[in-house]
Chains A and B, each alone.
Chain A
């Protein structure tokens, strides 16, 4: 069965970077785009970007341009999201989700990133 398993929660200081992983299983990793979506406390879902695991091509939301980098390692079926210059308002639950023709059918369990001095 399809599973997306994300890395555990982390606490970071303002200005630092965080790298969240998302390991896929149960399907051909390179056959589906992977998207990243976050939810800050009390806020809605916010799209961050996507990566094509086959080519490595990416697209990022304007809000995160220059601060977010999506990568992948096809040898371990894992996608990564790195967010730099962290601020307190980056405190959120970060999800990876599989894209099926611009619909998101499987989601990771979420990774909490807390930014605090």
Chain B
């Protein structure tokens, strides 16, 4: 049950796009389509922004999109806005267990 691997930080200017990767194994990301992404602002509860690899919950802007290839899932945020600055976590089902990524700090320059 090792944590999924995410870059520690990414950055982009307003209007640009950024992609955050999330690498696991065949026992988690590569084995199931139960990958989700969470946006976490300090002092608030995490917010689900992508579920089941590619789906956006109601109310989440279409600037947020998810994908997966093999053992690596990705979150892309297009048209960056100042309020997107937050910590982002990926998460995967791993057969009775669950594993999170280490988190990626997104800075909007």
Check B40–A45 contact: CB distance below 8 A.
yes
Check B98–A35 contact: CB distance below 8 A.
yes
Q: How near does chain A come to B86, taking the closest CB pair, in angstroms? A: 13
Contacts of A35 in B (CB 8 A): 98
A47 interface residue, CB < 8 Å from B?
Answer: yes
A29 interface residue, CB < 8 Å from B?
Answer: no
Q: How near does chain B come to A61, taking the closest CB pair, in angstroms? A: 6
Check B91–A59 contact: CB distance below 8 A.
no
B91-107 vs A, CB cutoff 8 Å, 1 = contact: the mask equals: 10100111111110000
Q: Which of A50, A63, A110 contacts B45, CB < 8 Å?
A: A110
Q: With A104-B46, A107-B46, A108-B45 in contact, do A63 and B1 touch (Cβ < 8 Å)?
A: yes
Q: How near does chain B come to A35, taking the closest CB pair, in angstroms? A: 7
B52 interface residue, CB < 8 Å from A?
Answer: yes
Q: How near does chain A come to B29, taking the closest CB pair, in angstroms? A: 12
The chain A residue sitting closest to B100, CB to CB, is A45
- Give the number of residues in A that approach B within 8 Å (Cβ atoms): 23
Contacts of B57 in A (CB 8 A): 105
A35 vs B3: C-alpha distance when bound (angstroms): 17
A1 interface residue, CB < 8 Å from B?
Answer: no
Check B97–A47 contact: CB distance below 8 A.
yes
A110 vs B3: C-alpha distance when bound (angstroms): 21
The 4 closest A-B pairs by CB, nearest first: A103-B51, A107-B45, A44-B103, A102-B34
**Could you show 9 A-B contacts with beta carbons less than 8 Å apart?**
A44-B100, A45-B38, A45-B40, A45-B100, A47-B99, A100-B51, A101-B51, A103-B34, A104-B36
* B interface residue numbers (CB < 8 A to A): 1, 3, 32, 34, 36, 38, 40, 45-46, 48, 51-52, 57, 87, 89, 91, 93, 96-103
Contacts beyond the supplied A45-B38, A103-B51, A104-B46: 10 A-B pairs with Cβ under 8 Å: A35-B98, A44-B101, A46-B100, A50-B98, A59-B96, A97-B46, A103-B34, A103-B48, A104-B36, A109-B45
